[in-house]
Amino acid sequence: MGEEEDKFEDAGTHLSVIADAFEELSRTIVPGSEDLRLAKFINTCSLVSILFSCLGIAFKFAEMEYVAKVRDLMEASKIYGTLKDILDLDVENNTVRKPGSLSRNLRRVRQGLELIKALFERFLSSDCCSLRDAASTAYTQVCAPYHTWAIRKAVGAGMYALPTREQLLLRLNETDHSAEKEMKRYIAASTPVIQYIDKLYMAKNISLDW
């Protein structure tokens, strides 16, 4: 995690740097275009790794999977120019859903972005007062449908080890007010990125339920 942490030095809080990066990325998305650059996309996504780390053991499974997929796509960005390029490659080779394929890795990175988005949405909800409640709801909504019973059981047990809401804010060097501002920025900026990825798959008649 050292490389990710270095990116934040003297550049603002973790959340503000992530929100800035996703706002910049979302501005590059042109409606109807299929040329989102893989390198820019994955460099931005790499910043999110620190958030999984701050959540502790409950989200260790997500952190390990996310970081591994980001690393693979980072290597792929040296060869392939856009997100569409890697999807086209796997469609041609009939390997879209094959474990380890770039298209499958992209789906998992996209899932990680949505997991953090859902967590922030619940964290900011007026009827949600604890991080455990927010994280449990976000996991159930985004990841649980695609995980085995054993993984769901392990994640459920890990939820009891989550930091408190106050501890998380301290780890992120945020106050309630600043966290709300930056989380809302991430939610708004990540939404068109997630939608863009989904549309790439749907344009190839690839379902999103995996």
- What's the predicted TM-score (pTM) here? 0.88
> Domains of the chain, with CATH numbers?
2-201 (1.10.3520.10)
- Count of alpha carbons within 13 Å of 142, Cβ hemisphere only? 25
C-alpha distances out from residue 123 to 87, 95, 117, Å: 33, 37, 10
Q: For residues 97 and 104, is the Cβ–Cβ distance under 8 A?
A: yes
3-state secondary structure of 124: coil
* Beta-sheet strands, E only, within the chain: none
- Compute the chain's Rg from CA coordinates: 17
Output the tens digit of pLDDT for each of the chain's 210 residues. Answer: 444 444 444 445 889 999 999 999 999 997 767 789 999 999 999 999 989 888 877 778 778 889 999 999 999 999 999 999 999 999 999 999 999 999 999 999 999 999 999 999 998 886 666 888 888 889 888 887 777 888 888 888 888 888 888 888 898 899 989 999 999 999 999 999 999 999 999 999 998 887
